[in-house]
Structure 1
Amino acid sequence: MEMFITILLIALAIFILVKSAKKKISGGCDCGSCSSHCPMYDEKK
């Protein structure tokens, strides 16, 4: 049972990292909500 949970957590972490990397590579904001402290904020204005 512990192995299943570990594999599930690793798969979820990889999925989140890949999704974030795809957004960043395509030029999108990967912070979730662009605020004035985000470097992509100026580009979206």
Structure 2
Amino acid sequence: MIIEIILTIIIASLSVFTLVKSAKKKISGKCDCDSCSSHCPQYNNKNKEKK
């Protein structure tokens, strides 16, 4: 029972960490998809900035 609680806390903490990290990238205007392929809306913005 204690192990289940600890695992739940670890999983919840990792998900919150991931969401916060993604939110920080979005707020700063960076691409948060980690691949930035042509379907990403930030892809066009990056290409325009490079030109």
TM-score scaled by structure 1? 0.97
Is the aligned partner of 1:7 residue 2:9? yes
Length, aligned pairs only = 45
One-letter code aligned to 1:38: C
Please tell me whether Structure 1 or Structure 2 has the larger radius of gyration of its CA atoms: 2
User: Please, what is the CA RMSD of the aligned residues?
Assistant: 0.4
Is the aligned partner of 1:37 residue 2:45? no
TM-score scaled by structure 2? 0.86
One-letter code aligned to 1:41: Y
Q: How does 1:11-26 map to 2 (within 5 A)?
A: 11-26=13-28
Identity rate, percent = 62
5+ long unaligned stretches in structure 1: none
